[in-house]
Each structure stands twice: as structure tokens, then as C-alpha cells.
Chain A
Amino acid sequence: AQKVTQAQTEISVVEKEDVTLDCVYETRDTTYYLFWYKQPPSGELVFLIRRNSFDEQNEISGRYSWNFQKSTSSFNFTITASQVVDSAVYFCALSEPSNTDKLIFGTGTRLQVFP
């Protein structure tokens, strides 16, 4: 069965620290997609990245980077030089074409960045 685990419930850092949010997934499929979403205190869900299972290249977007490792079924998210505006709940999610492409979300990691 598909499953997404975000073991870190809450992380607190001080501004300018680097922080990594962990995501571990379970799937039996060879084709699948992984996502990260951000939910700031205002409540909306913001799409950050989508990665398919055949593309293991790490991705960097500004201060954000993602490390996809199929060998450990992980898709971790790192924020470099964190800022107060990064404070949010971050969700990792998985979808499988064999399971009607439903998004299965992890329970989220609440990140608090203090000035």
C-alpha cells in the first residue's frame, strides 16, 4: 500500500540556519510521482515541486533543494539560510497512476523559523 511518512512533526530553527525536512514513501509501483506543498499560516496550500520516479536528479530552486533517493525511498527537502517567511507546514505527497493518481499526503512538518 502507498504511504508517506514525515517523521518530524515540528522543527524550530533560527534564521539563516539550514534545515532539512524528511519524507519517506512506500510504493509497489515503478512509476510514481512525488510532491512537496507548503501551507503558510494563512492556510492556503502552495505547490513547490513535482518529481517523477525516473528522474533522480537533485533539484535546486533558489534556497530550496530536493534530494530524491530511490534506494532509501526518500525525497527530502532542504531550505538553505532559512528565513522567517519559511515558517509553514510542509507536506510531502505521493501519487501512483495505478491508484487513480490520488495524492496521498504525509502528516506534514511544521517549521518555525525564529528571528
Chain B
Amino acid sequence: DAGVIQSPRHEVTEMGQEVTLRCKPISGHDYLFWYRQTMMRGLELLIYFNNNVPIDDSGMPEDRFSAKMPNASFSTLKIQPSEPRDSAVYFCASSLAGNQPQHFGDGTRLSIL
């Protein structure tokens, strides 16, 4: 079975540019999560969806961040405009149910210059 698929694996861009991260969850998983990992703050939950509906976006750092899930097999996390402090590894994860194991993608390593 295919796992969670994230793209791109690496992204380097200049500050002020729009960045779009993509995620395809495991088929049949109803929950999708976006995390950010940095050395300073560790793993932080940004937002999660249940059946394509955003449930908790309290972790989204500011209005520059937005996430969508237009269908059960695709989600995007967008940063506009990007800033150097957004540099991090962004993970997408999916699970069958809320308290079931989350399966993570390989992450997107984002560098904002």
C-alpha cells in the first residue's frame, strides 16, 4: 500500500514568495494532519481535517498560513508571503480515526532565503 505522499521533498525559495506544499493521504484514512518540525520548537501540529473539514487550526501560526482539503485524497498547505522563519520540515500525516496511529509522509524540507 502506498503511504502518505508529500511533494515537493525540498523547496528553496526567496522570502515573499508563495509556497504550496502538497499531501496525498493513505486511501481510506479520514483524518489528515499537518505538522511543522524545527529544532527550536520540535513537532507542532498546525491543523487537522476530518472528512475534509478543518477541525482544529489553532496551531496555524498566522494568517500567512492556510490549508485546504478539497477532497479525500488531496490537501495543500500554503504560505503567502513566506518568511525566513518559516524554514522547517513540514510533515503531513493521516489516520483512520482520531486516536488511531498517524502515518507520516517523508516531509517537505522548506528553506526560505
Partner-B contacts on A (CB < 8 A): 33, 35, 37, 43-47, 50, 52, 91, 95, 97, 100-103, 105, 107-108
Task: Sample 5 A-B pairs with CB under 8 A, ordered by A number.
Answer: A45-B93, A46-B104, A50-B100, A95-B98, A97-B99
Q: Is the interface of B mostly helix, strand, loop or mixed?
A: strand
Going nearest first, the 4 A-B pairs with the smallest beta carbon separation are A101-B98, A45-B104, A105-B43, A47-B101
- Residues of chain A within 8 A (CB-CB) of B48 are 100, 102
Q: How far is the CB of B57 from chain A (nearest CB, A)?
A: 11
Are B91's CB and A45's CB within 8 A? yes
CA distance A52 to B97 in the complex (A): 14
Are A91's CB and B43's CB within 8 A? yes
- Residues of chain B within 8 A (CB-CB) of A37 are 104
User: Among residues 87 to 113 in chain B, which have CB atoms less than 8 Å away from a CB atom of chain A?
Assistant: 89, 91, 93, 97-107, 109
Residue ID in chain B nearest A102 by CB atoms: B45
Are A101's CB and B42's CB within 8 A? no
Partner-A contacts on B (CB < 8 A): 31, 33, 42-43, 45, 48, 55-56, 89, 91, 93, 97-107, 109
Residue ID in chain B nearest A42 by CB atoms: B106
Evaluate whether A100 and B56 lie within 8 angstroms (CB atoms) in the complex, with A43-B89, A47-B102, A50-B100 already known. Answer: yes
Are A95's CB and B99's CB within 8 A? yes
- Residues of chain B within 8 A (CB-CB) of A35 are 101
Are A107's CB and B42's CB within 8 A? yes
Are B55's CB and A100's CB within 8 A? yes
- Residues of chain A within 8 A (CB-CB) of B103 are 47
CA distance A37 to B102 in the complex (A): 10
Residue ID in chain A nearest B33 by CB atoms: A103
Are B91's CB and A33's CB within 8 A? no
Are A108's CB and B42's CB within 8 A? yes
Residue ID in chain B nearest A108 by CB atoms: B42
Are B101's CB and A100's CB within 8 A? no
Q: How far is the CB of B29 from chain A (nearest CB, A)?
A: 13
Evaluate whether A97 and B98 lie within 8 angstroms (CB atoms) in the complex, with A102-B56, A103-B45, A107-B42 already known. Answer: yes
